[in-house]
Amino acid sequence: MHFILSLVLTIMACESNNDFRQKMDENDGELISSEKLNFKLDTIAQDLENPWGMTFLPNGDLLVTEREGEIRVIRDGKLLDQKITGVPEVFAKGQGGLFEIKLHPDYASNGWLYISYAAPGKGGGNTAIMRAKLGGFNLIHKEVIFQAEPFVSGGNHFGGRMEFDREGYLYFSVGERGNRDNAQNLKNTSGKVFRIHDDGSVPSDNPFVNESGAKQEIFTYGNRNPQGMDIHPITGEIWTHEHGPMGGDEINIIRAGSNYGWPIATYGKNYSGTTITDVTSKPGIADPLHYWVPSIAPCGMSFVTGDSFGAWKGDLLVGSLKFRYVVRLELDGESVTHEEKLLENLGRVRAITEGPDGNIYVSTESPGLVVRMVPE
């Protein structure tokens, strides 16, 4: 019975994805109206397997990670058959796999790119950071510069987002791996946001370097599962969003030594509907600058920085896995003043990035697409 039900659901999903692809093909390039401007949506790549992260090379190639462990190349608007080889082995279980890909801020000079992924280890898997260089279509000079612990068998809450700040520090997130107590424990590397030098060494001014037993890479804690990260175009601060449980998704600004409260303070509930805590705010815990109830399951985020989307400049774009859309957030300093839903029913949004051409690129799973938003 379970097999038959699973088969029926799979067939329904495939039919739905095929219908969506046909609809995308038919409507490719049509004008879409939003509250402040009109734009076109072009399909750049289809039939990807859970595309998770994207980054542009200086030559214009778009690198796309697939969660099962592949790095794909989109060149001149076409998905190449040739894949990047030398990708590290991934712990492809549940939400685990290959995640983000980022270029070093000085990539043109040093050639380093950075990959976050769920690495296998004794007892299961946990998030790792590797840096490597490209030799043609092959990863070379590979160095694992961080490995989260403990390794656990579960397949959820890996985090996996990365961002460089203006001083060249690398920030990245690791989820609490389904064990909420990890987030408040400075002796492990789950449920945190980290800051390291580009070679993996620990900055001497990290907030917990002198605390006995604490992991020195930790920059913030009390984080449940951050899956969005970007640098604010004006302040240079690192912003994140993270998954709450049933409700309580948050947007936060990452500040040294801050505790973001999970599971001590949250606007969410257990998935069974029972209460986690009645506390939503508490002294010593950083309040989110914005939260969602019900949960939208946020994934991927990008500030609009260029002039191409002039009316949106300075806004924050956030993807939704649950509701399959992109939400545009208007900001007044550190306050969200307005939300607009865009591209409803596009797909489970995984990544959003602003391209060097000034257009906005979005990747989705189910169906596996990369689309481009082009302003009128």
Residues tagged active-site:
157
Q: How far apart are CA 359 and CA 60, in angstroms?
A: 13
97 contacts 87 by C-beta, under 8 angstroms: no
Task: Give the helix/strand (H/E) hosting 27.
Answer: helix 2-27
User: What are the structure tokens assigned to 118, written together?
Assistant: 């769920």
Which residues have a Cβ under 8 Å from the Cβ of 262 and sit 6 or more positions away? 176, 180, 183, 184, 191, 222, 223, 224
Which residues have a Cβ under 8 Å from the Cβ of 109 and sit 6 or more positions away? none
Which of 187, 184, 124, 179 is CA-nearest to residue 157? 179
Looking at residue 182, what DSSP letter applies?
G
Query: Given the structure tokens 């214009």, which residue do they identify?
Result: 60
User: What are the structure tokens assigned to 76, written together?
Assistant: 């001149």
- Virtual torsion, Cα 71, 85, 200, 353, nearest 10 deg: -20
Q: How far apart are CA 362 and CA 370, in angstroms?
A: 6
Q: How far apart are CA 339 and CA 296, in angstroms?
A: 13
Which of 354, 336, 271 is CA-nearest to residue 56? 354
Point out which residues pair with 127 in neighbouring strands: 118
317 contacts 302 by C-beta, under 8 angstroms: yes
Q: How far apart are CA 306 and CA 71, in angstroms?
A: 27
- Burial class (CB within 10 angstroms; exposed 0-12, middle 13-18, buried 19+) of 328: buried
109 contacts 125 by C-beta, under 8 angstroms: no
